[in-house]
Chain A
């Protein structure tokens, strides 16, 4: 007794390794990409995994991965296919604009007539850390949208999700088709198997120009935040507690 098969699109972004030490490029408006490792964004990875698990549970359906950007995004699309996605669509653009709505317009144009039951995104991408594109795409498509889902299931033809709120959690039910943006907690992305990597090379990857909207957000400046002053160890063991309390009272004035 499996759930009915669903057709799922997952929109993914390619971002630099979040553990990197960043430098600012000579232009002053972007990071210096020299030597950085790029990969599918962490939250996009959770979204791909969530889609694959929904299809596996149903014993059918299809997962299509979609990305906007230069040719380098194809590497992330192939990775998603090596995890198990059936096919990929590359919406080609020289760069991903800083304007999330402009990106959403390109994705909405691609997804509108795709017949998808579910469209997944990461809750935000590491680089912009804004979380605009998924929800704006839903709105442009006129679809219901659940943001930052930490659990996701399809039960009796309806979606069910959990969202973490500030100090609470919300359990929601929604009609399909729908857009869901995925938080950590849904599922840890699988590592592609060797067989998966081989199979991905033969899976279809379609390339077409991205129909981006006009970008009305531009980066004027990128800078590293001020470093914290070097840390200070005030002592060892519980013997240092009175000194800590004194400093919290007189120097930091937080007690």
Chain B
């Protein structure tokens, strides 16, 4: 990953980049916070999260950001598109961050689930760092989300198996190891997961108990 704009030193415009006003519009408050942290670590000091999207244009107007980052799950993206047209609603016209020469980065942004808008006249290369950072944080967030879902799923499965073991130990006088071995053998024979067999045991016990 590229370094942030401040760390690299003394070229003209560096200081201005650190002061770029950035607005984040995201349905996910956690992800927005992660992105904000990332931008601040990279040296951007003026980062604002807009969580409440009612009256979005008025909020944007008041903030007057140079860069707007928005998650693709936000239906308010269409509201932002109005910024292309309404010079009286915003102080400066806004354009979508699109660059025909850089299709790959646009595709990467769409895949990650984010879109960027910049004020007219802002050089696109000044925004590349922000967009790259945004893409990597969005991707990291969705990896975390997947891992969290998997971890939750594993915990649920563990609970099911423990309950089924208890039922079998009581009903058939088995030891814990025997109960588990029997479920595992059944699962293998039926080409199913142990958790599925455990669910069947629990359901059967509820029906018959």
Report whether chain A binds chain B.
no
A interface residues, Cβ below 8 angstroms from B: none
